[in-house]
Amino acid sequence: MAKIGVFDSGIGGLTVLEEMVKVMPNEDFLYFGDSKNCPYGNKELDELMRIVSRIVDYYVSVGCKLIVIACNTATTKCMKLLREKYPDLIFVGTVPAVKMACDNNCHNTLVMATEGTIASERVHELVLDNKRDDQNIYLVSCRGLAEAIESKDNDLIDKVLNDTIGSYLDKNIDSIVLGCTHYPWAKENILKIFPGVQLFDGSLGVAKEVKRQLDNHGYSNDLNYKGTVVVLDDIGD
């Protein structure tokens, strides 16, 4: 059975993988967490394209039928270029769930993401396309948070959060968009600062889009098939 290749800069994409397994238990998944190059958020475009192209080349070599970019930064900065470079491949990416927050009538939304995601044109397009006049959206670059989550140092996670989003306590924040797939791992830490806010991330939306693409292309496995998950430590040179 052809597999679905999934990658991110470390453990973050596991939050997306978890949702995909729930939605598609009949599919086989390969997951590569590229911790060596974590974080992607501070990489220049040329360097990031070299990194992700190497991963895509590996997934092509093992016959993956679809590739999921489980990273907001790699999606917002590289998706267009990857589709041009690999026109025969099916890519599904993830972007901050700005539309979801706006559609839920949230009025003061904090969008947490990496430097690269916040600086991308795609995020600003999402805001312009979805924000109503009565809604405020605050884009916050959470430098160092993905690395802190990778380290599993709870005190460091709290410090980075206080340094980055703590200054927005006076903005009556009612929702937070987790614009990096690492950030769901820090939900409890975030809710200590903003108790009761709605948290949005795009994992379920990614899973549903993958299923839609597989169905549309006739690539879905038989519903009775029991899928597998393989987590890769390395993909070679």
Helix 203-217 vs helix 14-23: crossing angle, to nearest 10 = 50
Contact in structure between 8 and 70 (CB atoms under 8 Å): yes
64 annotated active-site = no
Q: Which of 64, 78, 106, 180 is catalytic?
A: 180
71 annotated active-site = yes
Would you give the DSSP letter of residue 152?
T
Instruction: Report the DSSP beta bridge partners of residue 33.
Output: 8
In angstroms, the CA 165 to CA 191 distance is 11
In angstroms, the CA 137 to CA 211 distance is 30
- CA 56 to chain centroid: 17
**DSSP per-residue codes, 86-134:** -TTS-EEE----HHHHHHTT-SEEEEEE-HHHHHSHHHHHHHHHH--TT
Q: Which of 38, 64, 71, 102 is catalytic?
A: 71
Residues labelled as active-site residues: 71, 180
